[in-house]
């Protein structure tokens, strides 16, 4: 989420990035293996929002500083 905002890309949120609303749902098209596995809390919110296996909460996953090429999208970009 922070990286998107730094890049000028809007990220939807109704919980200020606290991992509760699911509005920041993003589809990870490339680089998913470099992300930490979802926490139990993130898994619960993903399930509640009907997320696919390639989707994560933007506010709950952090990209490594360098070394991985990510490609992500959302339904509202």
Question: If binding is defined by CB under 6 A, does position 27 make contact with ligand FES?
Answer: no
What's the closest the beta carbon of residue 18 comes to ligand FES, in angstroms?
6
Secondary-structure percent of the chain, ordered helix, strand, coil, rounded to 5: 20, 15, 60
Residue 56 as a binder of ligand FES (CB under 6 A): the answer is no
Q: Are 24 and 12 in contact (CB under 8 A)?
A: yes
Residue 61 interacting with ligand FES (CB under 6 A):
no
Interface ranges with ligand FES (CB under 6 A): 13-15, 17, 19-24, 45, 57-59
């Amino acid at each position: 989420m922070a990286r998107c905002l730094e890049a000028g890309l809007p990220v939807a949120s109704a919980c200020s990035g606290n991992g509760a609303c699911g509005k920041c749902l993003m589809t990870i098209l490339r680089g998913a293996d470099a992300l930490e596995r979802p926490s139990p809390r993130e898994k619960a919110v993903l399930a509640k929002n009907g997320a696919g296996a390639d989707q994560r909460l933007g506010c709950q996953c952090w990209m490594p500083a360098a070394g991985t090429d990510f490609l992500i999208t959302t339904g509202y970009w």
